[in-house]
Amino acid sequence: MLPQKTKIFAVLMATMMSLGSLSLMPLNVYASHSFEAGVQGDNIPDNTHVNLNGITLEQLQVVPLYDASPNFVSGHFLLQGPCEDRDEDNDGTPFEPKVSVIAGHIDESTDNTYVDWVPLYYISHASFNPGTCIYHSHIPDPLNGGAPRITDVDLVNFNKQSISFSPGDAVDINIQRVLGNIENFYENNLAFPTKLPENLFQEFQNGQNNPVFDLNDKDPKNDGLGHE
């Protein structure tokens, strides 16, 4: 039988060789999201998980989810939250979130603040509970709209009634890359969450909300750009 020290050394060597072989595996072995930039250089992925259970949002109340200022970033966004079966904007996707997801840059200066809807993908095969939906999104989404440079992600209740979150409702944000410094990119291009009665807020009251896409239904018109 091998001495105890020899056994430990053998286990360590086997582990190191196994990890080394993983680093040599081709990158296309792993699932890839074509909209996302991925990790580059020495950037370390940053994951933020927000438990929404028990939170109630009144009209125009905001839940700040993520702030990377002054860096604008790229990554992936997941939301499980209340949704409703409506298609008032006739885009073919009825499962729209009751609480809106907005992103962009919220600055100390009003003149440099800009936010917009976040395009969402409805994940039907993971949305099991009636009235609850799971959505994925790309930060940013270069094809389907939204703010082009994102430092901040927030939830806003544009409904006239309060919205409450249930057990399991959560947001998960995985940041993969810092793309640069926001500086004055949005200067004099104002769009602020609580000052939107003439655009985003009015649009929501007219039945418009986050753009929602569904790759799994029979309607190819709501797949979003990049999937046609």
Q: Are strands 212-213 and 95-97 parallel, antiparallel or unpaired?
A: unpaired
What pLDDT sits at residue 3? Answer: 54
Position 35 pLDDT exceeds 70: no
Q: What is the 3-state secondary structure (H, E, C) of the chain?
A: CCCHHHHHHHHHHHHHHHHHHHHCCCHHHCCCCCCCCCCCCCCCCEEEEEECCCCEECCCCEEEEEECCCEEEEEEEEEEEEEEECCCCCCCCCEEECCEEEEEECCCCHHHCEEEECCEEECHHHCCCCCEEEEEEEECCCCCCCCCCCCEEEEECCCCCCEECCCCCEEEEEEEEEEEECCCCCCCCCECHHHCCCCHHHHHHCCCCCCEECCCCCCHHHCCCCCC
Close Cβ partners of 23 (under 8 Å, ≥ 6 residues apart)? none
Of 3-12, 98-107, 176-185, 211-220, which gets the smallest average pLDDT? 3-12
What pLDDT sits at residue 20? Answer: 39
Of 121-130, 133-142, 147-156, 195-204, which gets the smallest average pLDDT? 195-204
What pLDDT sits at residue 24? Answer: 34
Cα separation, 143 vs 224, in Å, equals: 8
Close Cβ partners of 24 (under 8 Å, ≥ 6 residues apart)? none
Position 166 pLDDT exceeds 70: yes
Of 11-15, 32-36, 71-75, 91-95, which gets the smallest average pLDDT? 11-15
Cα separation, 180 vs 162, in Å, equals: 37
What pLDDT sits at residue 173? Answer: 96
What pLDDT sits at residue 209? Answer: 77
Mean pLDDT, the chain, whole residue set: 75
What digits encode the pLDDT tens for the residues 170-219?
999 999 888 999 999 998 877 765 554 445 555 544 445 788 887 777 77
